[in-house]
């Protein structure tokens, strides 16, 4: 695991054995797979120093070299910073933060009038701690879905995580409660998802839609409904909701897709998030406790799903 130390807007790394012989260019392009445009920008802005001098990006590093990278840029006030919410933080360090998203809150603003989103609350949270950085969401959850959601604290970690998400290297495990009992207790739903031309926000299984794959496993059955664990290969809008409804078992509370209105929201919770840390390569596993009041999910241990 790579050890880093934050010093103001800079990150210090003492070159480890596995970096020795590699250039700064190779670190950014091959180790971290940072996009070419961002790598070029960092290079032109002289944001990397080695042993106190501007880095030669093509010179191999030696074991023990002191590398300084200016990763923590000053905050750009893209959103207002006046929305406080008592967030439940599941994991945090200098580079990333994972938050347990509450229900009835959008992940990000859809227009200028929306100033009470999770992004606003998370930005306020880090700013109140004295971290003058601009955070970035890596993925999103529907407004009424709860659970673990990942944010990056600087452009490099954000770019690395975006690439990991695109390559399906960030594993997200959800828990849903669906209507009825699914005949096949474990399987994979492979159906393309597209917009429903008859409804502004609804999606549907469509031959002209985007490829989508959802794994599922029934973990508990009760009278009239089932608890289902789901994990995704793709991240289409409303994917789990659409796929399970297509299977004939819509989520309870999800009236948009035919679910019974037993709850005030669809019974969907992002229970577990697993990813390789974008900078240190450490494996991070976060479990998100249920936070509904009154509770929706009962008798489930999220640490064993």
Mean per-residue pLDDT for 40-58? 95
Domain boundary among 18, 37, 70: 70
Q: Give me the number of domains the chain comprises.
A: 2
Instruction: For 171-206, give one letter per residue: b (16+ CB within 10 A) or e.
Output: ebbbbbbbbeebeeeeeebebbbbebeeeeeebbbe
Taking residue 279's Cβ as centre, other Cβ atoms within 10 Å add up to: 23
Q: Is residue 154 part of a domain?
A: no
Residue 166: CB partners within 8 Å, gap ≥ 6? none
Mean per-residue pLDDT for 136-147? 94
Kindly indicate the confidence band of residue 80, based on its pLDDT and cuts at 50, 70 and 90. Answer: low
Least confident of 59-63, 69-73, 163-167: 69-73
Q: Is residue 132 part of a domain?
A: no
Domain CATH for 52: 3.10.290.10
Kindly indicate the confidence band of residue 78, based on its pLDDT and cuts at 50, 70 and 90. Answer: low
Which entry of 142, 144, 179, 254 is annotated as an active-site residue?
A: 142
Predicted pLDDT at 75: 64
d(C-alpha 209, C-alpha 236), whole Å: 10
Q: Is residue 157 part of a domain?
A: no
Q: Is residue 92 part of a domain?
A: no
Mean per-residue pLDDT for 115-142? 90
Residue 217's domain comprises 172-269
Q: Is 142 a catalytic residue?
A: yes
Mean per-residue pLDDT for 212-240? 95
Q: Give yes or no for a cis peptide into 294 (omega within 30° of 0).
A: yes
Predicted pLDDT at 50: 97
Predicted pLDDT at 142: 93
Domain boundary among 70, 91, 122: 70
Please state the pTM of the whole predicted model: 0.92
Q: Is residue 140 part of a domain?
A: no
Q: Is residue 289 part of a domain?
A: no
Contacts 24+ apart (CB under 8 A), 134-138: 134/73, 134/75, 134/76, 134/78, 135/97, 137/107, 137/108, 138/162, 138/165, 138/170
- The proportion of the chain whose per-residue pLDDT surpasses 70, expressed as a percent, equals 97
Q: Is residue 187 part of a domain?
A: yes
Domain CATH for 232: 3.30.2350.10
Mean per-residue pLDDT for 80-92? 87
- The phi and psi torsions of 304 (rounded to 5 degrees) equal -120, 15
Q: Please determine, for residue 72, whether its predicted confidence score (pLDDT) is greater than 70.
A: yes
d(C-alpha 13, C-alpha 2), whole Å: 8
Q: Is residue 107 part of a domain?
A: no
């Amino acid at each position: 695991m790579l050890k880093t130390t934050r010093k103001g807007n800079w990150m210090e790394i003492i070159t480890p054995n596995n970096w020795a012989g590699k250039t700064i260019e190779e670190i950014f392009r091959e180790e971290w797979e940072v996009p070419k445009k961002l790598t070029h920008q960092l290079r032109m802005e002289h944001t990397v120093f080695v042993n106190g001098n501007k880095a030669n990006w093509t010179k191999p590093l030696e074991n023990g070299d002191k590398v300084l990278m200016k990763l923590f840029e000053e905050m750009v006030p893209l959103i207002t910073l006046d929305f406080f919410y008592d967030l439940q933080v599941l994991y945090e360090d200098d580079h990333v933060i994972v938050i347990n998203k509450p229900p009835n809150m959008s992940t990000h603003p859809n227009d200028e009038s929306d100033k009470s989103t999770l992004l606003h609350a998370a930005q306020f949270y880090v700013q109140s701690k004295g971290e003058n950085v601009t955070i970035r969401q890596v993925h999103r959850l529907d407004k009424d879905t709860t659970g673990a959601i990942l944010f990056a604290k600087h452009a490099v970690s954000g770019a690395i995580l975006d690439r990991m998400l695109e390559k399906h290297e960030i594993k997200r495990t959800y828990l849903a409660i669906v209507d009825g009992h699914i005949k096949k207790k474990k399987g994979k739903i492979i159906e393309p998802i597209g917009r429903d031309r008859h409804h502004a926000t609804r999606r549907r299984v469509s031959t002209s839609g985007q490829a989508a794959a959802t794994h599922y496993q029934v973990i508990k059955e009760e009278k009239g409904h089932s608890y289902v664990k789901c994990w995704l290969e793709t991240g289409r809008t409303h994917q789990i909701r659409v796929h399970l409804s297509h299977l004939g078992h819509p989520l309870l509370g999800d009236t948009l897709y035919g679910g019974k209105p037993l709850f005030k929201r669809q019974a969907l919770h992002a229970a577990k998030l697993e990813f390789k840390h974008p900078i240190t390569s450490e494996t991070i596993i976060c479990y998100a406790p249920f936070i509904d009041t009154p509770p929706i999910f009962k008798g489930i241990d999220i640490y064993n799903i």
